[in-house]
Chains A and B, each alone.
Chain A
């Protein structure tokens, strides 16, 4: 053991010694060469069950890094460029943690991403051991920010905010239409995300006069939703609220179409498919008029249209994860800029006091309390004639809601 330690120490010493000598010897300052880049870890699940979302996230982060570097990098660090260290979380928490360890060994200044709640829960904790600043892009589970981890910041809204806003929006939309919807069936995936969301809605919806007929859970991945659809047909609820990932939502919508289950509306909450262009393009009939309370870009911010064109010109698809991750990287770069350092502690301080307003989301300037961005909120979207529109709130909307879809 002691021998091992000594060997290690000697090696470390040699290595750092070499680096020191190289630094002294290199006349970089004299020649005015580029300052060393700031390494930023981008963690997304680009293989496995949620690979599609991970790919969206990566696209957004890559574009943001390219734009920041093209605009002169981090100016307070002499124009240091951001260097992306990409990690594939392979759609499971263990792989996510492995990638965090790898990023740590490669010396990243911060990590952005994670996407799925279970991945974010594990990776933020792994990063916390190294005081490594971590910006969660999506991960809606509120446990992520409730554990008192100083390194963890979530730019987007979590469960609590999403459910609260979703219910408020639903109540307003329903009232404006003369309260046509009274009964509700909840369909949720049985993991951390779906179950947590369903539990909150079970508590909140009855307070607003809705009756929950039944709460049905389904595993991810599910191969067959005939039984759930049969139950829906038997219950005949006014509203169906699905909280599932992409494949299951598509399967549910298509099975409902097949079995002719036609509720007054499908109002999804933080759904994997209901505001996804791929679903709308591949199955326009099943997707039409589905509403979703979810992350979405601010349609009134012209920067989104430019970014969207660039994404589509590259042959990729647009989804909320793209502007969200673009904004998260922007938020981090702003913090590094103000910290004027790649020091982790200083970046965490800068993030905690951040008032970043150049992002693409409908949130207003950032303000972090306990790691959660207070201004973050989802919006209500609806698929109308094959286009995803923001229908609520009015301050960000680009269309009016069609509700109820059928009487």
Chain B
């Protein structure tokens, strides 16, 4: 056993990382909730966003936090176009096809990144990455704290957009009843693309928040997507508060199992939970329907 403040710090580390996991899961859960598809390109899109942050920081000298709004807009546009002009038309209305199209996009993206950047692992090397905030006996990493706060703000914003705006209402309407929504005059194809765009924008924000403490190589997205899937299943498919709670929980589980079982076995806790949730509560903690 470890002393209380060591355990406490591990829990805190987990919460901070978990908020970013939640942000990544948010895009996945939103797309699932509205389009009813699992977006297999999620990981590859995250990797693309992380490379964008790295390129902007390393070659253009743009701070990763300053980049957030710009990259979010760019990725919104990218996501919108991807759904509107590639995934939507290629699927011909069949969900099975959408699955394959997103899988195809992920393969294309990953290999394009591999061709451009090769398989080297890269990271931002700024002194800020290791700055800490002292709170009593705890030393809290500043970039992670910022990541935590920003992830919460984005989640709140997204929730407000869905709850209060017309577009939000339209998105919820399409999620509930596609045919009904189109009958009252909602452009379903447009709403699909908007949702996919929002999903990509959350990835862009997550990438900006992750890069100071993380590294990127063309296959890095896979690690996050597995975690994000677990978060989505745990929180309930399509649930925003579920994604947040699930993300924070998974972060803590990963951190504690890393502390007690060792770094090599750290991820075991996550997948154990994944299996347990599927066995005993397949709708997830916040899921309304199966």
Contact = CB atoms under 8 A, between A and B. Distances in A.
Interface of A: 47-49, 51, 90-91, 190, 216-219, 221-228, 230-231, 233-234, 247, 254-255, 257-260, 282
Interface in B266-290: 266
Given A223-B213, A254-B129, A258-B141, 15 more contacts: A218-B262, A219-B263, A223-B214, A223-B215, A225-B263, A226-B255, A227-B10, A228-B263, A230-B10, A230-B13, A231-B2, A231-B6, A247-B121, A247-B215, A259-B132
Given A216-B262, A227-B259, A230-B6, A51 B120 contact: yes
Interface residues of B, number: 30
Secondary structure at chain B's binding surface: helix, strand, loop or mixed? mixed
Contacts of B130: 254-255, 257-258
Secondary structure at chain A's binding surface: helix, strand, loop or mixed? mixed
A16 B266 CA distance: 59
B13 to A, nearest CB: 5
A230 B2 contact: yes
A248 to B, nearest CB: 10
B18 to A, nearest CB: 13
B142 to A, nearest CB: 10
A90 B120 CA distance: 9
Given A190-B264, A219-B264, A234 B3 contact: yes
23 contacts: A47-B118, A47-B120, A48-B118, A48-B119, A49-B120, A49-B121, A90-B119, A218-B262, A218-B264, A223-B213, A223-B214, A227-B258, A227-B266, A228-B263, A230-B6, A230-B9, A231-B6, A231-B259, A247-B121, A247-B123, A254-B130, A258-B141, A259-B139
A91 B118 CA distance: 12
B120 A48 contact: yes
Nearest to A250: B125
Interface in B225-276: 255, 258-259, 262-264, 266
Contacts of B214: 223-224
B118 A258 contact: no
Contacts of B139: 258-260
Nearest to A217: B264
Contacts of B6: 230-231, 233-234
A126 to B, nearest CB: 21
A244 to B, nearest CB: 11
A227 B141 contact: no
A47 B121 CA distance: 9
Interface in B16-31: 17
Contacts of B3: 234
A363 to B, nearest CB: 32
Contacts of B264: 190, 217-219
A171 to B, nearest CB: 28
Contact of B2 (A190, A224, A234, A282): A234
Given A227-B266, A230-B9, A258 B132 contact: yes
A230 B7 CA distance: 9
Interface in B118-140: 118-121, 123, 125, 129-132, 139
A230 B259 contact: yes
Contacts of B215: 221, 223, 247
